[in-house]
Amino acid sequence: MKTTAKFKQVSIAIFACLIMACSNNTNHEQVGDNEYKQKADSVLALMTLEEKIGQLNLPSSGDITTGEASSSNIAQKIKEGKVGGLFNIKTAEKIREVQKVAIEESRLGIPLIFGMDVIHGYKTVFPIPLALSCSWNMDLIKQSARVAAQEATADGICWTFSPMVDIARDPRWGRIAEGSGEDAFLGSEIAKAMVEGYQSNDLTANNTMMACVKHFALYGAAEAGRDYNTVDMSHLRMYNEYFPPYKAAVDAGAGSVMTSFNEIDGIPASANKWLLTDVLRDQWSFNGFVVTDYTAINEMIDHGMGDLQKVSELALKAGVDMDMVGEGFLTTLKKSLEEGKVTEQQINGACRRILEAKFALGLFDDPYKYCDPERAKNEVFTDQNRAIARKTASETLVLLRNENKVLPLKKQGTIALIGPLADNAENMAGSWSVAGDFEKNISLKQGIEEAVGANAKVLYARGANITSDPGLEARVSIFGKPTRRDNRPESVMIQEAVNTAKRADVIVAAMGEPSEMSGESASMSNIEMPENQRALLKALLETGKPVVLVLFTGRPMAIKWESENIPSILNVWFGGTESGHAISDVLFGDVNPSGKLTTTFPQNVGQVPIYYNHKNTGRPLAEGHWFEKFKSNYLDVSNDPVYPFGFGLSYTTFEYSNLKLNKSQMLKSDSIDVQVTVTNTGSVAGSEVTQLYIRDIVGSITRPVKELKGFTKTYLVPGESKTLHFTIANEMLSFYNYELNWSSEPGEFTVFVGGNSDDTLSSNFELLD
């Protein structure tokens, strides 16, 4: 290795300090552990002010061309110690080149941390997070993160900006696709599973990566579902309904947290000391580091918080450690220090936490630990990983309707495959699949053709564009995911589709939204099926042939008309690399659908926000009623959703019976055993997600009509019954009261158990003081 004498001298000094800081502890430490703090302090003592501030800088490098790392625009800043990490660069070879600049050409040779949005898979793309949540399978979700970490680290990346755990109840918000739905309990379980999948409780391994829980906080509650918009809610709602998944990720050991773009209590998250210090560090004991989202510090200027120097000062004081892209820290903190607006202790604290993360990742021991090109050849986009992705995707599909048992299809006869998403491999990956090779995705057409082989004939017609508005279609044909607009008249396309359908025995209509109609900056005011696609559906129904709607979407859509008129609806979200295979597995019955919704599907956008765990009003409408004057309801539509939270059909049927509680009263120190019998009353084997809900009937503050508190997924063969057990403990009955104290209150509770939030058995018990 070629180094300067100066580099060697400083490196030896760092090494000597590290030896002194080491202990005999051989356990796998987490970020913030005392040993890492000692090691970080030993490096901190050698750093200049400029180098400390440089560690707080996270620019985006772009995907640097191999061989140009040392001469790239970012290289000079790395050499000067002005960069703490980079993102949006991949492959072991490129990252090794850039890391080499930091190690060999900067004064102290401090390694860089390399991040990327590895959201739902890496090269092997898994279903979008909203789809993953519909599997209700924590082992499978954890495995998806494990595979993503295995692949990404083989390509040089050691830090992922995931999981996104924002609770979202407004389907107009495009980033609902990136989260786990509307429920805090389920969202918390998934947050934990994702962090454990990425980090595996051992960040020293070369195939694990640091998680970054985002977006802290409340980003999913943007007013009107418009991205980046204002958030304003009570602290009671924050603590009880929105904070739990963030805390679950922190409790699971997430090494970093990303701030959100929105304001909280009138202060943007990146300048909110109450949020980042009082809650995150003091109340939750988070010891990792905080990074902003892309230019979030700079954007506080438009929020009206001050100029770049001022907002950078506010962010550092609030508890931000790393500035993504904006370089406000890099260009203003020294001046703010000189003017007494920030302290060196604050800068040291931020720098220390970033150094601790690098120690936790083992980068000081081996800065090239993620840079073995042989790993990528053997561990990325493997047949095994694709098989896991296929199985995972098949469990996320939700059967919404199946009148006359149109599904599963037979692998015989003639199948008409119609629709703008029937033969579009690129859009199968879904939003935020930045590392995927879209040309390797399996389209629905390819999946069906491979499934039926020579046993059936598959006819194809496009039938419609995504929308009749070419401007809107252009706005969502981005990031390498074209919609391939057909410029023929709509009537010509529909007639071609009808003629094709008339030659078939069954119609599979692949419709809905393309992948980039959801995701970041992809809010929609109209969440119904586009009118031109609905016109195509109507024309197909008029042929008299059975129609199966394969619905692609990244959000709950308002599909009231479709649910009333289309015989079979299979919601397939965006399933990733293996979409076409997974959908075909379910269409033809090789896999029995078991997905359950984690978001409520409204009748129309006027019902939004709509979610199952709402509170009662003083004038509640009786269940099953509509309309009553002077009750809480609408004049033009019932209060009911089209599909409730937890809903999902199967090719078999399940019956619930014998709900029993082992006692009618419990002390806070005690527990209650809940048992229920589930029976497969159909003719095929299948898996059922049994859900446990609890209602606190009387409280010191108003309480939701029910809250998810447990679930389990059970496989049953035809005629088989199983008795399932849930344990109710005091923790499940606790909540944050008016004083924001976590406790339970004595009184009566109702237990609900069933296959979705609406269709349940119930029983009551009393909690004693």
Active-site residues, by number, are 293
Q: Give the span between the Cα atoms of 706 and 734, in whole angstroms.
A: 13
DSSP labels, 187-223 = HHHHHHHHHHHHHTT-TTSTT--B-EEEEETTGGG-G
Please, are residues 610 and 169 in contact by the beta-carbon 8 Å criterion?
yes
| Cross-strand partners of 462 | none
Entry field: residues in the chain:
769
Cα distances from 474 to residues 168, 432, 466, 467, 471, in angstroms, run: 27, 18, 10, 10, 5
Smallest CA-to-CA distance from 457 within 425, 406, 510, 410 is with 410
Both structure tokens of 346: 């604050």
Please, are residues 207 and 151 in contact by the beta-carbon 8 Å criterion?
no
Cα dihedral 447, 451, 454, 455 in deg (nearest 10): -130
Coil, helix or strand for 268?
strand
Cβ-Cβ contacts under 8 Å for 283 (sequence gap 6 or more): none
Both structure tokens of 525: 């005011």
Q: Give the span between the Cα atoms of 536 and 557, in whole angstroms.
A: 18
Please, are residues 467 and 528 in contact by the beta-carbon 8 Å criterion?
no
For the chain, the first-to-last Cα distance in angstroms comes to 70
Q: Is 137 left (phi over 0), alpha (psi -120 to 50) or beta?
A: beta
Amino acid symbol at 695:
R
Cβ-Cβ contacts under 8 Å for 26 (sequence gap 6 or more): none
| Cross-strand partners of 115 | 87, 159
Question: 374-394 b/e with 16+ CB inside 10 Å = b?
Answer: ebbeebbbeeebbebbbbbbb
